[in-house]
Copies of this chain bind each other. A is one copy, B any other.
Amino acid sequence: MPKVLVLPGDGIGLEITPQAVKVLEAVLKNHSTSLSFEYGLIGGAAIDEAGKALPDETLAAAQAADAILLGSVGGPKWDTLPAPQRPELGGLLAIRKALGLFANIRPVKMLPMLVEASTLRPEVVKNVDLVVLRELTGGLYFGEKGRGTEPRSAFDTLIYTEEEIRRIVDLGFQTAAKRRGKLCSVDKANVLESSRFWREITLEVAKNYPDIELSHMYVDNAAMQLVRWPEQFDVIVTENMFGDILTDLASMLMGSIGMISSASLSGSKGLYEPAHGSAPDIAGKNIANPLATILSAALMLRYSFGLEQEAQKIEAAVERVLQEGYRTPDLAKPGDKVLGTKEMGNAVVAAL
C-alpha cells in the first residue's frame, strides 16, 4: 500500500491538511489503490516538540514515503530564531533540498466562477491556463552565503551547474509537449552570467524538442507580461528566486493564492503543498481555504500515483462546489454561501 507522509506544519496547516486527507480517502473508497497515511512534524511544531524544524525522524519518514502532503510552516513565535533554524529555512527549504525536489510545478488555471475574484479585468484573465515550473534546489537560495567585515557586508550566490539547468528545462519541454506546446524560459541574460549559461543550456536541450515553440523572456518583462497579457503563456520555466516571485504573481491572477496548488518533484518522489503560507492571523478559526491543499492532493494522485482519473475527479468536485456558490471567506463576494474550512472539505467530499 503506497505510503503518504502528512506534515501539517504550523498555523492553518493543521486545519487544511485533514480536509485533503478526507478528500483523498473519499475519492479512493472502493478503489483498487488505497493509501496509508502517516503523520510527522515539521516547522515550528517540530522545533517545539523535537528541537529542530526538520527532525531526523521526519526526514527518514519522508525518504521512506511514496509521497508527502505538506500544510504550511512558520509563524511569529519562531521569527526570532537565527534564520537557518527557522521553520522556513530549517524545515521547508531543508526538506526540499534533502529530498532533491528540484522541480516545483504550479498550475494556474482560471475557473469561470472565480473570474470575478481577480483584481484583473475579466477579459484579461478568463482564459488563463498556464504552468510555472520553478527550479527549487539551486540558484540564489542555495549558493554560498555569508557576511564580510571592513566594510560590513553580506552576500548570496546565484549558481547553477549544467545538470541542474538541464533537468528542469527538460521537464519544461516535456510539460509543454503535453500541453499547448509552448515553453517560455525566463532569465535576465542581459545582465547575469548565470542567466546566459541558463539560456545556452536551454538552447542545447531545445534540440531534442523541435516541435516545441521556445521563447526567452527577461524576468522584468515576464512580470509585466503576466499582468498585461497572461494568456500568452503556456509553460514558464525559470530559476528558483525568479520562480518564487513569478509563481506568487501568477497566483494573483486567480484573485487569491488560496486556490494555488503545487507539486515539488524529483525523479521518484513528490511533495505536495498549497502555495500559500501558514497565515498565523487566521489560524485556529476554521476560516482558512483548504482548496489549494485539496488540489495539491489531486496533483499527488496525478504525479506520484498515476491516478489521472481520480485527480480529475477531485478537480471537478472543487469546481462543482464553487459553481454552486460556496466560498471560503477569502474568496467570498456578497451573495456567496460562505463555508468554514471543515465544511468546505465536506462539501468537496459530497461533490465527489
A343 within 8 A of B: no
Contact B197 A224 (CB under 8 A): no
Contact B252 A224 (CB under 8 A): yes
Nearest residue, chain B, Cβ from A253? B227
Contact A220 B244 (CB under 8 A): yes
A228 within 8 A of B: yes
A233 within 8 A of B: no
Tell me whether A227 and B83 are in contact in the complex, defined as CB-CB below 8 angstroms, given that A140-B192, A145-B192, A160-B153 are known contacts.
no
Say how many copies of this protein the assembly contains.
Answer: 2
Which of chain A's residues 137-164 have a Cβ closer than 8 Å to chain B?
Answer: 140-141, 143, 145-148, 151-163
A184 nearest CB across to chain B (Å) = 16
* Highest count of chain B CB atoms <10 Å: which of A93, A143, A145, A223: A223
Contact for A227 among B153, B156, B190, B252, CB less than 8 A: B252
Contact A158 B157 (CB under 8 A): yes
Contact B227 A196 (CB under 8 A): no
A124 within 8 A of B: yes
Contact A156 B252 (CB under 8 A): no
Query: Which residues on the B side are within 8 Å of A228 (C-beta)?
Result: 119, 252
Query: Which residues on the B side are within 8 Å of A162 (C-beta)?
Result: 151-153
Query: Which residues on the B side are within 8 Å of A163 (C-beta)?
Result: 151
Contact A147 B227 (CB under 8 A): no
A193 within 8 A of B: yes
Query: Interface 1/0s, chain A 225-262, versus B by CB < 8 A?
Result: 00111000000000001101111110111000100000
Query: Which residues on the B side are within 8 Å of A220 (C-beta)?
Result: 244-245, 247-249
A121 nearest CB across to chain B (Å) = 6
Contact B155 A156 (CB under 8 A): no
A180 nearest CB across to chain B (Å) = 21
Alpha-carbon distance A247/B156, docked complex (angstroms)? 22
A191 within 8 A of B: yes
A315 within 8 A of B: no
A-B contact pairs, 27 of them (CB 8 A): A83-B196, A86-B190, A88-B190, A89-B190, A119-B121, A119-B229, A120-B120, A120-B227, A121-B121, A140-B191, A140-B192, A143-B155, A147-B193, A147-B197, A153-B162, A154-B159, A154-B196, A154-B197, A154-B198, A155-B159, A156-B194, A188-B241, A188-B244, A220-B244, A220-B245, A223-B248, A227-B227
- Can you list the 8 inter-chain pairs with the closest CB atoms, starting with the nearest? A154-B197, A145-B193, A155-B159, A220-B248, A152-B162, A223-B249, A227-B252, A153-B161
Told that A153-B160, A155-B157, A158-B158 touch, could you supply 6 new A-B pairs with CB distance under 8 A?
A83-B190, A83-B196, A119-B228, A148-B159, A154-B160, A155-B194
Where the two chains meet, the residues of A that have a C-beta atom closer than 8 Å to any C-beta of B are 74, 83, 86, 88-89, 93, 119-121, 124, 140-141, 143, 145-148, 151-163, 188-194, 196-198, 219-221, 223-224, 227-229, 241-242, 244-249, 251-253, 257
